[in-house]
A and B are shown apart, each in its own frame.
Chain A
Amino acid sequence: MKEVSKMIRTLVLLCTLCISLQGFAFSEGGDQGAVDTKDEVDAYIQHHIKDAHDFHLFSYTSDNGERKHVGFPLPVILWSSNGLVTFMSSEFHHDDAGKVVVEKGGSKFVKLHSKIYELNPGASEVRFDEHHHAENAAKVLDFSITKSVFGILLVGLLMLWGFSSLAKQYASKKVPTGFGRVLEPLVIYVRDEIAKPNIGEKKYRKFTGYLLTVFFFIWILNLLGLTPLGFNVTGQLAVTAALAIFTLVIYTFSGNKDYWMHMVWMPGVPVLIRPILAIIELAGAFLIKPFSLLVRLFANISAGHIVVMSLIAIMFTLKESLGVVGATGLSLVLSFFITLIEVLVAFLQAYIFTMLSALFIGMAVAEHDHEHEHDATGHEIPDAEDVRGDFI
């Protein structure tokens, strides 16, 4: 009981810290100045949800009215029409509206809403059409070490460090000590609760490495997104798409004969229905499943970020009607509870993504004509693979 209350206290403290720091970042954030009005809040949230080319911690206005940004630049790597171009993101001077033109490697680049555009030859600055789209510039392939990539690298290194140190511990002792003792049950959890029941006792081993990687990758990045560092990696479509496509590739290439047979020429149904079923099954396998995976993760995490930031923004938007104390109090209480829920969602989404990946892989490798156990009266006892269909 004592342990639990201690844990809750720590969690509450962490959440409060996150919110207050985020609030701080908010009040001092923005590209141009402090964020106060509803439009500015919207713009700020929209900006945050996107990837960024530099690692921005917070900004403040110095005594002489100058805007100062605290953070560090990240390398920009572009594949432009003139080949590979690299420079540091500080060359844009925190501009995100396409005003600062960087000329490198014979091409001119501007940054507009967190995207880098290459100006058409001859143009010297961006022209906008009536929808505020750039008219005379085109997007370039951007392999930059953006904030998301930085986060991915950070998490990757953390995972490598943490889990390889856990792996090394087994060489000298049977039961790990220290941080490994925290990691081990999580690894066992993924293996026993996600991989084994969904893929089956016989084949789970081959896919557990992928499932473990994905689970911890998503979970740690989700949690990192709740910190005031402002990562939103698992809220990037490109990231979730890559994850979903990994799952798609794995279950497509490990699918056995039964799996393909059931997909393209379903046994046990009238021949005329089979092509229709095949279309549905193929669409399900190649579009719906990965799409549901990528959208679920992306939408949940993005929504979480938007909700938390919006609730923090109550501090500013309701300042007039509720007063400073009222607005701050309301914002603090609401965002506190939402942050607690987000901690749960962070785990839940990692779990769901991994679980569904395991499920799809399990469906692809399932043996259909397997031996059944028989009970005393000779009836077949349905095993995990038989009832799996009931839950999908």
Chain B
Amino acid sequence: METLLNDFSPGLFVVQTILLLGLIFLLVKFAWKPILTSLNEREEGIKGALDAAEKARAEMQNLQADNDKLLKEARAEREAMLKEAREIKEKMIADSKEQAKVEGDKMLKQAQVAIESEKKAAVADIKNQVAELSVEIAEKVLKEQLSNKDQQLKLVESMLGDVKLN
């Protein structure tokens, strides 16, 4: 203990105290403060960047989900539209078929009616013409045959004979 106390140098103690005080002051001012500030700033920067990245990732995920949803909806919509279109097409086809059939039938009927009436008209016309012709022929025949008296009498007789027969 005595040697220790003897070895203790008060002068060195004072010098060390002053130097250490100066060293602490200078280092705090020129080294530790800027270093720690920069380190903190850097760490906060890193933390912020990481947070931002995490946020961006989450947003990205949300976006992806939204995209998927949109895509799905679009696909469903397309499907629905296609289906509807197909239905409309079929319906249209069916409708037109129906209409065409009805129209056709109608036209057919009209045609038949027309044909019938034309036929009747034609037949009537033919009848008339035949009648006229017959009358003309008969007239001519009669004129021919009745140009002499014998023949006229013979005709009357044959006619009368027919009547008898009847």
Contact = CB atoms under 8 A, between A and B. Distances in A.
Interface string B10-48: 111111110110111011101111111011001001000
Interface in B37-96: 38-39, 42, 45
A257 to B, nearest CB: 26
B162 interface: no
A51 B42 CA distance: 44
A294 B58 CA distance: 55
Contacts of B38: 167, 170
Interface stretch (B1-9, B101-109, B123-131): B1-9
A153 B19 contact: yes
Contacts of B36: 187, 191, 205, 208-209
Contact of A242 (B20, B34, B39): B20
A157 to B, nearest CB: 9
B19 A212 contact: no
Please indicate which of the listed interface residues B11, B14, B17 has the most CB atoms of chain A within 10 Å of its own CB: B11
Q: Give the interface size bracket for B toward A.
A: 20 to 34
Contacts of B23: 156, 159-160, 213, 217
A239 B42 contact: no
A187 B39 contact: yes
Contacts, number: 123
A334 B35 CA distance: 41
Given A170-B35, A205-B36, A237-B4, A152 B16 contact: yes
Contact of B31 (A141, A153, A163, A188): A163
Given A153-B19, A170-B38, A238 B13 contact: yes
A238 B16 contact: yes
B25 to A, nearest CB: 9
21 contacts: A50-B7, A79-B11, A141-B11, A142-B11, A144-B11, A146-B12, A152-B19, A160-B23, A163-B32, A163-B35, A164-B27, A164-B31, A167-B34, A167-B35, A174-B45, A209-B32, A210-B24, A213-B24, A236-B7, A238-B11, A238-B12
Given A142-B12, A152-B20, A242-B16, 14 more contacts: A146-B12, A160-B30, A160-B31, A166-B35, A167-B30, A168-B34, A170-B42, A184-B39, A210-B28, A212-B27, A236-B12, A237-B8, A238-B10, A238-B16
Interface of A: 50-51, 79, 115, 141-144, 146, 148-149, 152-153, 156, 159-160, 163-164, 166-168, 170-171, 174-175, 184, 187-188, 191, 205, 208-210, 212-213, 217, 236-239, 241-243, 245-246
